[in-house]
Amino acid sequence: MWGNWGWGMPGYFGWGGWVMGLVMVAVLAVVIVVGIRLVNKTDRSHQHEESALEVLKKRYARGEISQEEYRTMRDELKD
């Protein structure tokens, strides 16, 4: 009698269907964001951060600094 405009259940969700649709989209977005953050956090935990001394050794090996600069900086780092 009322068709799609009455108090019945028109469409799939009824009168508040658009609200439920927004809630479902929000829940899905939260699940995706949390999943991505968990994956990124796991990836970062396996990375090794280089110490300052390791960086200094690599710079010296590449010839970016002289032996004198290397020794000076190494001694400062050890203190």
Asked if residue 56 and residue 43 are part of one domain, the reply reads no
Is position 10 within any domain? no
Q: What is the pLDDT of residues 6-15, one digit of tens each?
A: 555 555 556 5
Q: Is 57 exposed, middle or buried (0-12, 13-18, 19+ CB in 10 A)?
A: middle
Asked if residue 43 and residue 33 are part of one domain, the reply reads yes
Q: What is the pLDDT of residues 32-68, one digit of tens each?
A: 999 988 887 765 555 667 788 999 999 999 999 999 9
Is position 4 within any domain? no
Please say if the pLDDT value at position 16 is more than 90: no
Is the Cα torsion angle 60, 63, 65, 68 positive or negative in sign?
positive
Alpha helices in the chain (DSSP H): 17-45, 52-62, 67-78
Asked if residue 58 and residue 38 are part of one domain, the reply reads no
**DSSP letter at 3?**
G
Asked if residue 42 and residue 52 are part of one domain, the reply reads no
Asked if residue 40 and residue 21 are part of one domain, the reply reads yes
Residue 61's pLDDT is what? 94
Higher confidence at residue 9 or residue 16? 16
Residue 49's pLDDT is what? 72
Find the domain containing 65 and state its range: 48-79
Q: What is the pLDDT of residues 21-32, one digit of tens each?
A: 888 999 999 999
Asked if residue 52 and residue 76 are part of one domain, the reply reads yes
Number of domains forming the structure of the chain: 2
Rounded CA separation 77/57 (Å): 12
